[in-house]
Amino acid sequence: MLSRLSLRLRIFLFFCLLAVGGAGLAAAALAFGWSRSDTALPMGPFITALILFVFLNTGLTLGIWLLFDENVAKPIARLSAQLRLRAHSGVDSDVDTADAKHLGDLAPAAFALSRTIGNTLTDTAARVASETQRLQSESERLTALLSEIPIATILLNPAQEIVLYDSQAAEILGRIAPPRLKARLSDYFDLSGFAEAASRLSEGSGEASLRLGDASGTHVFDARLRSLGNGDHMILIDVPDTGASRVAPRPLVYNFDFLNPSYPRNIDEAPLSEQCFVAFDTETTGLSVQNDEIVQIGAVRILGGRIVKGEVIDTYVDPGRPIPPASTRIHGVTNENVAGAPDIGTAGRALHDFARDAVLVAHNAPFDIGLLRKSRSRTGADWTHPVLDTVLLSAVVFGTNEEHSLDALCKRLSIEIPEDKRHTALGDAQATAEVLVRLLPLLDGRGITTLKQLLSETRKHGRLLRDMNA
């Protein structure tokens, strides 16, 4: 039972035991003295002495505990957090030996050990980075090549989940809903034509033509289906050459880890490493959930503990009212920016589609989630997603007494936010996503491996922020 309590709380309980024990011993001594004395003596002086001792003993114990907490318990907690950062998240932050000056040789020894291990990891990381750069260069060449070929490519695993799509497939999918890795093909298209084509492939044909259309029949495309074996399929969609100049190539989006789909799990019990997260942020006309409106939405997807490059939402939102100059000075969004932008009904539905089957992540979530839930009548979307707040995650990992602002978290986790991106919806969403990616290994190192366990831990810090999962 005690092992579940924090180190500082256990130390505090230890000092409480000292105070109670001291008072108990004093009471026992006075009682013994009273029993051996002349019973005609009044009891009052003994009781007064006992009460005075209890107050003085409690005050002395509390004072010693405060000194111990400030100079031993807190430094140990900070030292543990810094070592976990280096061990689990690869953050190359120096161990603050000055903060732990009363811990004897513990902090310098921990620093020396972490530095030695860090140097080894740095050498390994340099070799990995070199190989990664080579693979990245090859990926960029492949992306550019596929962007020039007028064929959209989508790779599916046996569960008919999207494992790969190129820039032209992203454009086609985006006409129906935001493109998402590991999304089911049925989120975009009516699968009756797909099933019929797949049955023809099973009869021995190497390629089958099909018509892919969304549920409304608004978007219909001529396509070809190919079997890659083991239940994997590739869809090739012919893209008409309009003669228009191409935009900059979008990154080829893929994750071959999803070629072998895992069986569906209860979202509460599934490992955090298997969860899909959507980190998002909003900029608004003011700071009131009830009275203000959203002017900008940014969102980033995280799969397999990594940010999915190329899968973002970055849109202005028409609030239907003028933006106060004081708000513009903070986030830089002007009335001219939102003129002609989608309203919250359209932008909110796009975000809801983007976050399908995902856990929502925000910094100071009650504000952003409150704004989305307030707009339910206009978006027609129920925001019933599980919600993680990086403020509460920070409290779980680093303790309640540390600063939990987004800037403080980024500094602690060695995350850089470009100055021109701070206080923009996408910039803050990207920073929140990177914070989550750095915190996940730290949570795993503390034995918190499922969403259910994590939500249970964050609820312990509900005095900091309201739990949006209630």
Give the tens place of pLDDT for each residue, 44-77.
666 776 677 777 777 777 877 787 777 777 777 7
Joined tokens for residue 94: 């120096």
Residues facing 388 on adjacent strands: 361
Lowest mean pLDDT among 36-40, 229-233, 387-391, 413-417: 36-40
Residues facing 165 on adjacent strands: 154, 253
pLDDT of the residue at 247? 46
Give me the sign of the Cα torsion angle 362, 363, 367, 368.
Answer: negative
pLDDT of the residue at 462? 83
Using a pLDDT cut of 90, give the percent of the chain over it. 38
Residues facing 404 on adjacent strands: none
Residue of higher predicted confidence among 122 and 65: 65
- Cα–Cα nearest to 401, from 90, 54, 12, 2: 12
CB 114 within 8 A of CB 88: no
Residues facing 312 on adjacent strands: 300
pLDDT of the residue at 253? 86
Lowest mean pLDDT among 141-155, 276-290, 374-388: 141-155
Residues 327 and 346: their CA atoms lie apart, in Å, by 23
The chain-wide mean pLDDT, for the chain, equals: 82
Joined tokens for residue 132: 């990664």
Domains in the chain and their CATH numbers? Answer: 2-118 (no CATH), 149-254 (3.30.450.20), 268-459 (3.30.420.10)
Joined tokens for residue 276: 């899909």
Lowest mean pLDDT among 37-46, 52-61, 369-378, 453-462: 37-46
CB atoms within 10 A of CB 411: 14
Over residues 278-291, mean pLDDT = 95
pLDDT of the residue at 193? 84
Q: At what angle do helices 7-36 and 44-68 cross, to 10 degrees?
A: 160
Joined tokens for residue 244: 């228009």
| pTM of the complete model | 0.74
Q: What is the pLDDT of residues 394-423, one digit of tens each?
A: 999 888 878 899 999 998 888 988 888 888
Q: Are strands 387-389 and 151-156 parallel, antiparallel or unpaired?
A: unpaired
Q: What is the pLDDT of residues 172-203, one digit of tens each?
A: 998 898 999 999 999 999 888 888 888 888 76
Residues 209 and 193: their CA atoms lie apart, in Å, by 9
**C-alpha pair distances (Å), 62 with each of 111, 361, 401:** 32, 39, 19
Phi-psi region of 304 (alpha: psi -120 to 50; beta: other; left: phi over 0): left
Residue 338 pLDDT grade (very low, low, confident, very high; cuts 50, 70, 90)? very high
In this structure, the chain runs to a length of 470
The H or E element that residue 401 is part of is none
Look up tokens 């490493």; give the residue. 273
Q: Are strands 151-156 and 162-165 parallel, antiparallel or unpaired?
A: antiparallel
How distant is the alpha carbon of residue 384 from its chain centre? 17
pLDDT of the residue at 440? 93
Q: Which residues of 374-388 are buried (b: 16+ CB within 10 A; e: fewer)?
A: bbeeebebebebbbb
Amino acid identity for residue 179 in this structure: P
pLDDT of the residue at 465? 87
Q: What is the pLDDT of residues 148-176, one digit of tens each?
A: 667 889 999 998 999 999 888 988 998 89
Q: What is the pLDDT of residues 89-100, one digit of tens each?
A: 666 665 566 666
Residues facing 361 on adjacent strands: 279, 388
